[in-house]
Chains A and B, each alone.
Chain A
Amino acid sequence: MSHNIFEEPNENLLQASGITELSILGIELTQSIQSMNHDVSIVEGKPALVRVYIDQRTIMTSINVTGEIRWYSDAGEHFVVPINIVNIDSTTPKDLESQRDELSAALNFILPPEALQEGLLVIALDRLRIVGEGEVAINGNTQLRLTVEKAPPLRIRVIGFRYTDGNQSFTPDAVHFAFFKSYLLRSFPTNNIDWSQIVVDGNFQAPFDDITASRVHAHLAAMRSREISAGVDPRTHYYGIVSDANGRYFLRGKAADIPGIPSPDIVACGPVGEPNGGFGGDTDVSYADWYGAHELCHTYGRYHPGFPPYDPVTERGQDASDANFPYPEGNLSSDALEHVGFDIGDNNLNLPMKILPRQLHHDVMTYKEKQWLSAYTYQAILERLRQEDELFN
């Protein structure tokens, strides 16, 4: 006999687990990359994910857990409900490391930008509830106290160059600008991107040769000089993008230099196009994002970690010009440092929220696939953005 769903729930459906308390392994707040020690800067205004990790080892049944956190700061106090429910199953208990590597394995909360104001931020886990049963007691440290830092702006002007091969004209599609901008917002240590873009006719033709990128750099430098004379902020970086004409013409990306000191006058350029199912481990519709981030990072003084290592026989691989890169294989972290990447995603571009496990993803300055900013690069960019913000005052 079917149950009238508008009557009170059928109690037989609810099988009590007998669990009255749950232990917490930790709480993490991540914006782009983070460790359990929170040794990566948390910056103002950048949306954050709060992750609550529950000790699963003592649970002898299958339960679904939900809960509630509260954040408070000078901006006030607010409750936040989770974006998921965690299923804990005694047949597949997950330790802290596997929970951190999998989005759905922890109880996740999104903090709105207003929660991320410069100064003290406290996250408190107020409630855990077993779905269908009720609230349980919480064991362990339920509070996370963090300091939110001021985020300097990233000033960038992106110039799309139109060119012809004598028969046909090629223009970077709008989607590539959008992917690049979104990637910078998601992965870089700021939520403050001073962005502008335009398409102009390039000073070169396809097919490209050894000096095409230099001609593009020169064009960018001349535009930049004209524009800062006309009032554009002289701290603005200029990055040029060139369509790969569906794989027909590929302008290998280059930065004009790797400046040791803050130098927003250093220009860079790179190709844009579709990864066609896998270039750089990228399966979406544009590789303009990580490719552009790599070249842009050069203009903020970042060198190559040397992965994959340069092979003089095949002449492939990467020079190890950054002797200080701290992680093996160009990974996002070493195992000891336990950083895990986080990509909040972008609904407008159909990019889902993702956790980026450190062994599967690589620092944006390598030539390895699935690129993101490691903590090492993230902190260095933050420092350089701060120095550039102070320039010319």
Chain B
Amino acid sequence: MNVEIESGSYINVVAIVNKKENTGEILYVNPASLATRIESTSEDPDISITVEDGAQNLLFQQQALVRYSACNESGSYEEGLIQLDIPYMDGMEVIKLVFDGKVLASYQRQSPDISSSHVGRLGFSPALVSVTKRSLTGLENIIEQKGVTYTIQVKTAEFKHWHVIAVGLNLPKVKIDRNQFPNETTVDIKVIKTTGFDDEVIAESHLSFE
């Protein structure tokens, strides 16, 4: 077994699966430019992640490395976690979580409705005395759409990389807590709309807490 990092275009899929209950969920699908590649012999032969194109042709199939958690109450827990980076391929349409030939969950690529994400000017709700949390404004007209989620990232002078304050949101509704950035008067904020396969930055701004 070996762990490596590769850069390129990937789709990061995070799913949970319960073999005993025959259930599973694909919880997060997001583009990634860095992939964790695990060479392992402990993949579960019964569980796989597949990707198909729009005509149901199989583009990708991989037995899943299912992580079973430690520190459980004995015997009470059968939930496993799947973290998989799939190389991006043209025509990817459907991601499936398959157990023993049965599809437990699937994730369908949607064509984002352009009119659903009309963005105004990004800003903060007014500063109020004794209120440290400020809502992000300018995003009120966005309409929820199946298969489209939002990631909101923040960058500060202290933390130089874009870091995530929200991922997988159905709507980009978020409050920024001033207390989280004790040494900053301003932050950079970026709102990413994603189908899971493609990212689109729909708003980016340098905002002041003052």
Contact = CB atoms under 8 A, between A and B. Distances in A.
B153 interface: yes
B27 A213 contact: no
Given A226-B153, A231-B161, A256 B1 contact: no
A228 B34 contact: yes
Nearest to A223: B164
A88 to B, nearest CB: 46
Contacts of B60: none
Contacts of B38: 263, 265
B15 to A, nearest CB: 7
B58 to A, nearest CB: 24
Interface in A103-160: none
Interface string A254-280: 111110111101100000000000000
B interface residue count range (under 10 / 10 to 19 / 20 to 34 / 35 or more): 35 or more
Contact of B1 (A219, A223, A261, A265): A261
Contacts of B72: 252, 254
Given A217-B81, A222-B28, A201 B69 contact: no
Interface residues of chain B: helix, strand, loop or mixed (majority): strand
Q: Which residue, of B1, B5, B67, B69, has the highest number of chain A Cβ atoms within 10 A? A: B69
A261 B164 contact: no
B103 interface: no
Interface in B163-184: 163-168, 174, 177, 179-180
A295 B71 contact: yes
A42 B150 CA distance: 47
Nearest to A310: B74
Nearest to A159: B164
B85 to A, nearest CB: 7
A371 B165 CA distance: 33
Contacts of B76: 210
A230 to B, nearest CB: 4
Interface in B83-128: 83, 85
B50 interface: no
A392 B38 CA distance: 12
B48 interface: no
A205 interface: no
B73 interface: yes
Interface string A199-217: 1110100000011011101
B195 interface: no
A335 interface: no
Contacts of A358: none
B1 A201 contact: no
A315 B72 CA distance: 12
Nearest to B162: A230
Interface residues of A, number: 50
Contacts of B77: 210
A252 B73 contact: yes
B12 A225 contact: yes
B69 A255 contact: yes
Contacts of B180: 198-199
A319 interface: yes
A304 B72 CA distance: 11
A225 B85 contact: yes
A226 B167 contact: yes
A231 to B, nearest CB: 4
Contacts of B174: 201
A218 interface: yes
B34 A218 contact: no
A266 B5 CA distance: 14
A234 interface: yes
A95 B28 CA distance: 61
A257 B1 contact: no
Contacts of A200: 164-166
B4 A392 contact: yes
A24 interface: no
A157 B77 CA distance: 26
Contacts of A362: none
B34 A229 contact: yes
A234 B38 CA distance: 13
A315 B73 CA distance: 8
Given A218-B15, A226-B30, A232-B161, A211 B79 contact: yes
Contacts of A252: 71-73
Contact of A222 (B34, B71, B167, B177): B167
Interface of B: 1-5, 12, 14-16, 18, 27-28, 30-34, 36, 38, 67-77, 79, 81, 83, 85, 151, 153, 159-168, 174, 177, 179-180
Q: Which 3 A-B pairs have the closest CB atoms?
A: A222-B28, A231-B161, A257-B67
Given A219-B27, A257-B70, 17 more contacts: A174-B179, A196-B163, A198-B163, A198-B180, A199-B177, A210-B77, A214-B16, A217-B16, A217-B69, A221-B28, A231-B162, A252-B71, A252-B72, A254-B70, A261-B1, A263-B38, A265-B38
